[in-house]
Chain A
Amino acid sequence: EVQLVQSGEEVRKPGESLKISCKGSAYSFTNNWIGWVRQMPGKGLEWMGIIFPVDSDTRYSPSFQGHVTISADKSINTAYLQWTGLRASDTAIYYCARGVNRNSQFDSWGLGTLVTVSS
């Protein structure tokens, strides 16, 4: 069974850095896309970006470009989402999800990582 296991809840102060992870198993991690989705408290889903681990081809939503970095380490089947200067407005649940092909649906989802940014 395809699984995406995300790292645990994080609490940070504004301006701090953070890197959360998403580890895939039971499928070819290298040859599938991994996307990141934000869900702010009580709000809908927002697509942040996507990476193809085999060559690290990465695409960002303009809404998130420059504020986050998506990366992957194919040797350990893990994708990452990182910030270098967190804001209170980054408080949200972050989901990773698998896309089999570049334009395909997201068919498997992680449970989400809750990030709280507060002074």
Chain B
Amino acid sequence: DIVMTQTPLSSPVTLGQPASFSCRSSQSLVHSDGSTYLSWLQQRPGQPPRLLIYKISSRFSGVPARFTGSGAGTDFTLKISRVEAEDVGVYYCMQTTQFPYTFGQGTKLEIK
């Protein structure tokens, strides 16, 4: 199985400041079709997960432009340019390149 490792596990951020989350996979996520199936999801308290970013850097419909994904191969990053109160929650990376699909353990975003 591909192991997804996220750092940090917790990220206290001041409102209006940037935030950055890292995700590393135990092997390359480049599929034989050339695409890299790495996505980022947000889970606010008490809610189901919500897709933010797919294929490393494509922003899903309705996701604010302050969310940006980047990376390649085995190293990926999600950045929030200016954190807002509604961004509080847990952020997960997920790979769907190879079965079984796997999630990272999540990074909790808290407001300082």
- Residues of B within 8 Å of A105, CB to CB, are 37, 39, 51, 54-55, 60, 94, 96
Q: Kindly state whether residue B83 has any CB partner on chain A within 8 Å.
A: no
By size class, the interface of chain B is 20 to 34
Chain A residues near B (Cβ < 8 Å) = 35, 37, 44-47, 49-50, 59-63, 95, 97, 99, 103-112
Give complex CA distance A108, B41 in Å: 11
Other CB < 8 Å A-B pairs besides A61-B1, A105-B51, 8 of them? A44-B106, A62-B1, A95-B49, A104-B54, A106-B41, A106-B51, A106-B94, A106-B96
Asked if B35 contacts A60 (CB within 8 A), the reply is no
Kindly list chain A residues whose C-beta atoms are within 8 Å of the C-beta of B22. Answer: none
Contact A103 B48 (CB under 8 A): no
Nearest chain A residue, comparing its CB with the CB of B6 = A44
